[in-house]
Structure 1
Amino acid sequence: MPQGLPEALLRALDKLLQEHARLTTELQDPALSADHRRARGALERRAALEPIAAAAARARSLERESDELESAVRSGDAELAELARQDLVRVGAELAAAQAEVRRRVISGDDDRVGSVILEVRAGAGGDEAGLWAADLLGVYQKLALRRGWAVEPLEVSAEASVGGVRSAVVAVRGVGAWSALSLEAGVHSVKRVPATEAQGRVHTSTASVAVLPEPQEVDVRIDWARDVQEHVTTSQGPGGQNVNKVATAVQLHHRPSGIVIRMQESKSQQDNRQRARRLLLARLSELERRRAHAERSAARSAQIGGGDRAEKVRTYRYKDGIVADERLPDEYPLRDVLEGNLDRLHGALLELRAADRLGAL
């Protein structure tokens, strides 16, 4: 076990390393291959824990090397002691970096437990331009997913046919690190630019809101579908509310205990729309439970997982200046990079901020 870390963090690390060892043993069991869902979950979870195990192993190795060098310094051999002192400087710096990496990995460990997330982008204030901005923002996340090797599955996209924007879009994103990164995006995103629909060249301000929900496995949220959920099947509707086909394929679910209503009509298949609606309902119910538990643990902290209520503005994109300003950070970032899905620097700074906050709460 690496030393030089807070006791609470060491306890958390020990639990994660034990889980990694257990999963490694489980995955060697041939019987597991018969349960595809469980096997996939175990593989994804172990993959998420691999960086933590590797960081801890490196820290332990450097600690042993440091101990050996300190013994050489005390050996009484002047020449050997001088060489050891020089190496101690290097090893000390590497050890400090390794311990910082362990700390960062452990603090973000629960984030990596989430294998799939539901990402919702909705047009806000600004009329047609808000719909265009929502479409652009969705494109940023699709490019980010491509860079990170995540899989993106569209669940429901409500298009603004007249201008090419979107009223709302719901997609599922699966991959290691998806929750950790995308949860940083929750909130209101404001853009200041000259809209394509503006003939006078005036700068407008428009907004789009982003919600990010961990997608639970069905076993994580228990629903009595027959008793608690009322289902309506209707024909799909176009942008103006008119029916666009004669076959009843759109599915609307009303969860009576919570009042949540989900409508899906993206697919031409009623069964596909039903499955997608159920997935989104499960995710929203899971978020309600997470928020309740989070509030009980610490009433003083925000109930939105990852920080920041989703109703607050988190970022402004200023096209004229070519910069992006995040409300949580002092620095500004190149607009071009962000629009291409390159959020590495921005997310790195936000993750450091989150890590400091979580470490203080341990």
Structure 2
Amino acid sequence: MIDKLEAIKARFEEVSQLIVQPDAMSDMKKYSQLSKEYKDLDKIVKKYDQYKSVVDQLQDAKNILEREKDPEYREMAKMELDELSPQKEQLEEEIKQMLVPKDPNDGKDVILEIRSGTGGDEAAIFAGDLFRMYKRYCEKQNWKLNVLDLTEGTSGGYKEIISTVSGEDVFGNLKYESGVHRVQRVPATETQGRVHTSAATVAVLPEMDDVEVEIDMNDVRKDTFCSSGPGGQSVNTTYSAIRLTHIPSGLVVSCQDEKSQIKNFEKALKVLRSRLYEIELQKHNEEVGAQRRSMVGGGDRSEKIRTYNYPQGRVTDHRISYSVHNLPTVMDGEIGEFIDQLKLAENAERLKEGSM
């Protein structure tokens, strides 16, 4: 591990020099990559420096015990050993987690898609609750969420709502949310007080640029229509909304959140690119599935991942059998505890595979 950390530190020093060169910003794409690498390596190097400091202090305490005869000095050295040994173990564990290979998409922004599933009107209301939950979580992370397109439910909520989320390490955190979310509660439309089970699906797609996913525009049909959602005076008066149909795959994407047709086109193209990437990724995962199928990182839309039980105030993540009994807090955007536990579970899997 030490050899790997020394190599990381050497690379960090190299990147530190490259990023301040006079011509560093002449290639903005390369500069952006260097900036991200610097930021990622900086976290590991700081943790490594902290670890080395603790190791040096431990060695000093051991040396005192070996040489000193004075009982007072020996007692102080023993106290330092008792205090520093757990710190060393904790730092080693943290560094191991940091050294687990990252998904190259973790730093990307995302397309967040929420759709009502089984349960009729109640499923649409639940989809709306999930959207609010993610919106609150994004606010707490200082991420920016923009709605691209939505279809409202007849009794509230959404049949479908598609958004972009931008910020730091968005996909690396939200990717665990892909799958089927199930709710158990008495719907507002229920007259006899019976608990119903409804569901909504969540898809979290990394935003891909045109270099990573190339689209032949000859394969795309573009249609324009009048916006039907928020947008001021231009709503229903100008053909600013965009619908893109990718003919080979049959994928259809709409965007109507901007007054500008050009901006709506650009955003719709982003969604289309991300969905095409997801299709290719699913094909790849099926091919290598026999080799590795992560317990928590699959992102399968058909997999039931979490249940929100209102009568018991409980939220359970089925992938790691982890439950909390603070449902109102979770629905107010406090989902970080689940994400942290899922990260730990996936990292443990990867560490286990690496030691095989």
TM-score (norm 2): 0.85
Q: 1:69 aligns with which of 34, 39, 61?
A: 61
Give the CA deviation at 1:305. 7.9
Name the structure 1 match of 2:94: 101
Between the aligned partners of 1:183 and 1:158, the Cα distance in structure 2 is 23
Between the aligned partners of 2:7 and 2:297, the Cα distance in structure 1 is 22
Name the structure 2 match of 1:311: 302
**Partner secondary structure for residue 114 of structure 1:** coil
Give the CA deviation at 1:95. 0.7
TM-score (norm 1): 0.84
Give the CA deviation at 1:252. 2.9
In the TM superposition, what whole-angstrom CA distance separates every residue of 1:298-340 from its partner, at most 9, and x where no partner exists? 5243379823522111111111111111112334211011011
Name the structure 2 match of 1:90: 83
Q: 2:110 aligns with which of 100, 117, 136?
A: 117
Q: Aligned in 2, Cα 1:27/1:115: closer, same or farther, shift over 3 Å?
A: farther
Number of residue-to-residue matches in the alignment: 347
Do residues 142 (structure 1) and 135 (structure 2) align? yes
Give the CA deviation at 1:125. 0.9
Give the CA deviation at 1:183. 1.1
Name the structure 2 match of 1:235: 225
Between the aligned partners of 1:49 and 1:178, the Cα distance in structure 2 is 18
Between the aligned partners of 1:294 and 1:332, the Cα distance in structure 2 is 29
Give the CA deviation at 1:344. 2.7
Q: Aligned in 2, Cα 1:153/1:167: closer, same or farther, shift over 3 Å?
A: same
Name the structure 2 match of 1:330: 321
Between the aligned partners of 2:96 and 2:298, the Cα distance in structure 1 is 19
Between the aligned partners of 1:83 and 1:184, the Cα distance in structure 2 is 47
Between the aligned partners of 2:101 and 2:315, the Cα distance in structure 1 is 25
Does the CA contact (< 8 Å) of 2:175 and 2:299 recur in 1? no
Between the aligned partners of 2:65 and 2:117, the Cα distance in structure 1 is 65
Q: Which amino acid aligns with 1:149?
A: N
Name the structure 1 match of 2:120: 127
Name the structure 2 match of 1:198: 190
Q: Which amino acid aligns with 2:127?
A: A
Give the CA deviation at 1:17. 4.7
Q: 1:320 aligns with which of 300, 308, 311?
A: 311
Does the CA contact (< 8 Å) of 2:295 and 2:319 recur in 1? no
Task: After superposing the two structures, state which structure 1 stretch, 74-83 or 134-143, moved more.
Answer: 74-83
Give the CA deviation at 1:351. 1.8
Give the CA deviation at 1:246. 5.9
Give the CA deviation at 1:355. 1.3
**Partner secondary structure for residue 360 of structure 1:** helix
**Partner secondary structure for residue 85 of structure 1:** helix
In percent, how many aligned pairs have the same letter? 31
Do residues 274 (structure 1) and 265 (structure 2) align? yes
Give unmatched runs, 5+ long, in structure 1: 4-9
Between the aligned partners of 1:121 and 1:49, the Cα distance in structure 2 is 34
Task: After superposing the two structures, state which structure 1 stretch, 300-309 or 267-276, moved more.
Answer: 300-309
Between the aligned partners of 1:336 and 1:117, the Cα distance in structure 2 is 26
Name the structure 2 match of 1:209: 201
Does the CA contact (< 8 Å) of 1:111 and 1:177 recur in 2? no
Do residues 31 (structure 1) and 58 (structure 2) align? no
Do residues 357 (structure 1) and 349 (structure 2) align? yes
Q: Aligned in 2, Cα 1:70/1:298: closer, same or farther, shift over 3 Å?
A: farther
Between the aligned partners of 1:82 and 1:175, the Cα distance in structure 2 is 50
Q: Which amino acid aligns with 1:189?
A: H
Q: 1:169 aligns with which of 161, 164, 168?
A: 161
Alignment of 1:147-158 (within 5 A): 147-158=140-151
Between the aligned partners of 1:171 and 1:231, the Cα distance in structure 2 is 22
Between the aligned partners of 2:8 and 2:106, the Cα distance in structure 1 is 11
Name the structure 1 match of 2:232: none
Between the aligned partners of 2:84 and 2:117, the Cα distance in structure 1 is 52
Give the CA deviation at 1:263. 2.8
Between the aligned partners of 1:16 and 1:110, the Cα distance in structure 2 is 18
